[in-house]
Structure 1
Amino acid sequence: MKPAANTVAAAPRTFGERSLWWRVGSDFMSAPGAVAGLVVLALVVLAALAAPWITPQNPYDLMQLDVLDARLAPGTASSAGGFTYWLGTDGQGRDLYSAIIYGLRISLLVGVGSALIAAVVGTLVGLLAAYAGGRVDALLMRLVDLLLSFPTILMALMILAYMGKGISNVILTLVLLEWAYYARTARGQALVEARREYVDAARGQGLPAWRILVGHVLPNCLPPLLVIGALQVARAITLEATLSFLGLGVPITEPSLGLLISNGYQYLLSNEYWISLFPGLALLATIVAINLVGDQLRDVLNPRLQK
Structure 2
Amino acid sequence: MSAFGTLLRRPAGAAGVVLVLAAALAAVFAPWLAPYDPLAVDLARKLAPPSAAHWLGTDSTGRDVLSRLLWGARPSLAVGLLAVSIGGIGGVALGVTSAMARGLWEQLAMRSMDGLAAIPLLIWAIAIVGIVGVGPVRLGPLTFPNEAKIVLLIGVLYMPPLARVAYGGALLEARADYVQARRLQGASGLSIMLGDVLPNCLSPVVVQATLLVAVGIVVEASLSFVGLGVEPPFPSWGGMLADARRVIFSGEWWTYVFPGLAISLTVIGFNLLGDALRDTLDPRKVSAAGKVVT
Give TM-score, length-normalised by structure 2.
0.89
Aligned length: 276
User: Partner of 2:186: helix, strand, or coil?
Assistant: coil
Q: What's the counterpart of residue 138 of structure 2?
A: none
Partners of 1:294 and 1:227 in 2: how far apart? Answer: 5
Partners of 1:45 and 1:86 in 2: how far apart? Answer: 20
2:75 is aligned with 1:106: yes
What does 1:254-265 align with in structure 2 at a 5 Å threshold? 254-265=234-245
Q: What's the counterpart of residue 58 of structure 1?
A: 37
Unaligned 5+ runs, structure 2: 135-145, 286-292
Select which of 49, 56, 60 maps to 2:28.
Answer: 49
What does 1:25-174 align with in structure 2 at a 5 Å threshold? 25-60=4-39, 64-75=40-51, 84-165=53-134, 166-174=146-154
Q: Shift in Å at residue 181 of structure 1? A: 0.5
Partners of 1:201 and 1:277 in 2: how far apart? Answer: 59
Q: Shift in Å at residue 255 of structure 1? A: 2.9
2:274 is aligned with 1:294: yes
2:161 is aligned with 1:192: no
Partners of 1:91 and 1:203 in 2: how far apart? Answer: 67
Q: Shift in Å at residue 23 of structure 1? A: 4.5
Partners of 1:300 and 1:33 in 2: how far apart? Answer: 11
Read off the aligned partner of 2:108 and give its amino acid letter.
L
Contact 1:33–1:292 at 8 Å: present in 2 too? yes
Identity %: 39
User: Partner of 1:85: helix, strand, or coil?
Assistant: coil
Contact 1:90–1:96 at 8 Å: present in 2 too? yes
Contact 2:91–2:166 at 8 Å: present in 1 too? yes
Unaligned 5+ runs, structure 1: 1-21, 78-83
What does 1:184-223 align with in structure 2 at a 5 Å threshold? 184-223=164-203
User: Partner of 1:270: helix, strand, or coil?
Assistant: coil
Q: Shift in Å at residue 218 of structure 1? A: 0.7
Read off the aligned partner of 1:180 and give its amino acid letter.
P
Contact 2:86–2:156 at 8 Å: present in 1 too? no
Moved more, 94-103 or 207-216: 207-216
Q: Shift in Å at residue 92 of structure 1? A: 2.1
Partners of 1:191 and 1:94 in 2: how far apart? Answer: 54
Read off the aligned partner of 2:190 and give its amino acid letter.
W
Q: Which aligned segments of 4 or more residues in structure 1 are displaced greater than 4 angstroms?
A: none
Return the index of the structure with the highest Cα Rg: 1
Contact 1:106–1:254 at 8 Å: present in 2 too? no
Partners of 2:60 and 2:98 in 1: how far apart? Answer: 52
